[in-house]
Chains A and B, each alone.
Chain A
Amino acid sequence: MVSALVLNDVHVSYHGKSAISGINLTVESGNVLGIIGPNGAGKSTLLKALLKLVSIDKGSIEIFGKTLEENRKRIAYVPQRSEFDWDFPIHVLDTVLMGTYPKIGIFKRPKKKERDLAYECLEKVGMEHFYNRQIGELSGGQQQRVFLARALAQNAALFFLDEPFVGIDIASEETIVDLLKDLRNQGKTVVVVHHDLSKATEYFDELLLLNKHVIHAGKPSEVMRPEIMLKAYERELSFLREAGVN
């Protein structure tokens, strides 16, 4: 079977400064991949490169053996929560409904079928009672669940989530993790940029430890070993040592 993602020697730079370099990675379908690494390691850059939101200097990216353009409708992306204007005049259900837009196509409008799908997706994340609320009235965790519902409504094969667990409550975090695992069990592929190392082993099937380049990729038990983690977090540690922390 064709791999969900194949990255071959991918390089990205901003204004002449290298952000990530020489990234080689293969992700098989039916996995939850966590991308971890210190601040400034290029985690979000890698995600943006995968989605062609930034251009790559060198290398190639294949999604299900094809280009991104041929796969756009099979991809759902959940941006970081901080990227939104939470005062935007939009309700929860209309937000989820956006997930149906890619397949409706231009000129057409969402009909009852799409509304029903959006509502079902809201039920999956346990947010159906809030369908009528303005999105800014929700808590961080509820907002994140709504955006996951939107991604579910896209009916994608490949899901990208950028820091979905930042600033959310533990119940929402568990709901989201369970849903991601459901997706995996249905054979879908999930890529999550993740910040917090403590739960990385529980949450992900595969881990990519990044610090400008691939430090290590593999099963969490292989990656989450002190000698490997040290390679990525060396700078943070030396900073702590200088500050007198043992």
Chain B
Amino acid sequence: MAFIEGLIQYDFLQKALLTSIIVGIVCGVIGCFIILRGMALMGDAISHAVLPGVAISYALGINFFFGAVFTGVVTAIGIGFVSQNSRIKQDTSIGIMFTAAFALGVILITVLESSTDLYHILFGNVLAVRPSDVWITLIIGLIVLISVYVFYKELLVTSFDPTMAEVYGLPVRLIHYFLMTLLTMVTVASLQTVGIVLVVAMLITPAATAYLLTDRLSVMIFLSAAIGASASVIGLYFSFTYNLASGATIVLSATALFFVAFLFSPKQGILWKKLNDKKNRLALQ
């Protein structure tokens, strides 16, 4: 109840709620494609790789969005370049490149002595969202949602059957980097809410939860967005009420929802699977 009163009373809490709901939705949508393409690790990599970009942006006095997108995309290209031009596998390449970018970011923040609070970038501080941050989040959210709507067909076919897509002439690699760019933008939008370290959870956990609940990509996207948004609201409530880090409470809310689906999903839930196994065995006796 204090949360509702707080919402009415405090402007900062309204901004926090709005931002985290947008982040929940957008991460949920992009996350579906990330997990279906087996790129969960890539999501983690890109989110860490924005750190040097954030540091440089602060040093140059520009909005951190531009630097973050730049280093995020450069890292994504670097990962692809290393794995395609050597025997190094994709996951290894990811491990090499994103830790390098992250380490560079840590040094840059120290050397440039920027006003950036490393702790807040790493773990998020949604209660300190500024109006300009709300706008950036909203604009990024719209760009991402419109892109997914417009290119839904192409994203579907390149995720499910990239060979067919290539044969009929889709620029499969370009679409991959386009998705990486969207992913980077989503990460930047999530910096304030959940922070670099935990953004991967917002990308993967709601999408994975939705994956357990449906057999259709279009439905999965809507479910994932709804789950992401719900986790944001629940998480923010606990963050505000018990004075906990918002990133952590939002992620744990998403995890809790995942385990509910993991146990009780009508088709995939382990509870029903176990019960059915038992029923079958009893019927045979």
* Chain A contact residues, CB within 8 Å of chain B: 51, 53, 69, 72-73, 75, 77, 79, 83-85, 88-91, 94-95, 98, 101-102, 104, 106-110, 134, 154
Known A-B contacts A88-B36, A104-B153; the reply to A51 vs B217 at CB < 8 A is: no
A15 closest partner in B (C-beta): B87
Contact partner, A89, options B157, B164, B168, B215, Cβ 8 Å: B215
Contact partner, A77, options B151, B160, B164, Cβ 8 Å: B164
For the complex, what is the distance from the CA of A69 to the CA of B211, rounded to whole Å?
36
Could you give 12 example pairs across A and B, Cβ below 8 Å?
A: A53-B167, A72-B168, A73-B169, A83-B163, A89-B214, A89-B220, A90-B156, A90-B215, A90-B217, A98-B156, A101-B168, A104-B153
Are A98 and B163 in contact, with the CB atoms below 8 A? no
Shortest 9 CB-CB contacts between residues of A and residues of B:
A134-B215, A102-B168, A72-B169, A77-B167, A89-B217, A89-B215, A51-B167, A89-B220, A79-B163
Known A90-B160, A101-B168; 11 more pairs at CB < 8 Å: A51-B166, A51-B167, A69-B169, A77-B163, A83-B161, A84-B161, A89-B36, A89-B211, A89-B215, A91-B215, A98-B156
**Binary per-residue interface labels of chain B (128-169) against chain A in the complex, 1 for a CB within 8 Å, 0 otherwise:** 000000000000000000000011111011011101101111
> At the interface, yes or no: B274 with Cβ under 8 Å from chain A?
no
Q: Please, which residues of chain A bring their CB within 8 A of the CB of B219? A: 89
A51 closest partner in B (C-beta): B167
> At the interface, yes or no: B279 with Cβ under 8 Å from chain A?
no
Q: Please, which residues of chain B bring their CB within 8 A of the CB of A91? A: 215-216
Q: Please, which residues of chain A bring their CB within 8 A of the CB of B36? A: 85, 88-89
Q: Give the one of B36, B164, B211, B214 with max A CB within 10 A.
A: B164
Q: Chain B interface mostly helix, strand, loop or mixed? A: helix
For the complex, what is the distance from the CA of A134 to the CA of B268, rounded to whole Å?
13
For the complex, what is the distance from the CA of A83 to the CA of B167, rounded to whole Å?
15
B159 closest partner in A (C-beta): A88
For the complex, what is the distance from the CA of A108 to the CA of B163, rounded to whole Å?
21
Are A53 and B168 in contact, with the CB atoms below 8 A? no
**Binary per-residue interface labels of chain B (243-267) against chain A in the complex, 1 for a CB within 8 Å, 0 otherwise:** 0000000000000000000000000
Are A72 and B167 in contact, with the CB atoms below 8 A? yes
**Binary per-residue interface labels of chain B (159-192) against chain A in the complex, 1 for a CB within 8 Å, 0 otherwise:** 1110110111100000000000000000000000
For the complex, what is the distance from the CA of A102 to the CA of B161, rounded to whole Å?
13
Are B169 and A98 in contact, with the CB atoms below 8 A? no
For the complex, what is the distance from the CA of A171 to the CA of B164, rounded to whole Å?
26
Known A-B contacts A89-B216, A90-B215, A91-B216; the reply to A73 vs B163 at CB < 8 A is: no
A98 closest partner in B (C-beta): B157
Q: Give the one of B151, B167, B217 with max A CB within 10 A.
A: B167
Contact partner, B161, options A72, A79, A109, Cβ 8 Å: A79
Known A-B contacts A53-B166, A72-B168; the reply to A88 vs B153 at CB < 8 A is: no
A105 closest partner in B (C-beta): B153
Are A106 and B163 in contact, with the CB atoms below 8 A? no
Are B164 and A75 in contact, with the CB atoms below 8 A? no
For the complex, what is the distance from the CA of A89 to the CA of B160, rounded to whole Å?
9
A136 closest partner in B (C-beta): B215
Are A79 and B164 in contact, with the CB atoms below 8 A? yes
Are B160 and A75 in contact, with the CB atoms below 8 A? no
Q: Please, which residues of chain B bring their CB within 8 A of the CB of A79? A: 161, 163-164
For the complex, what is the distance from the CA of A72 to the CA of B165, rounded to whole Å?
10
CB distance from B260 to the nearest CB of A (A): 19
Q: Please, which residues of chain A bring their CB within 8 A of the CB of B156? A: 90, 98
Are A98 and B166 in contact, with the CB atoms below 8 A? no
Are A75 and B168 in contact, with the CB atoms below 8 A? yes
For the complex, what is the distance from the CA of A101 to the CA of B167, rounded to whole Å?
12
**Binary per-residue interface labels of chain B (196-226) against chain A in the complex, 1 for a CB within 8 Å, 0 otherwise:** 0000000000000001001111011000000
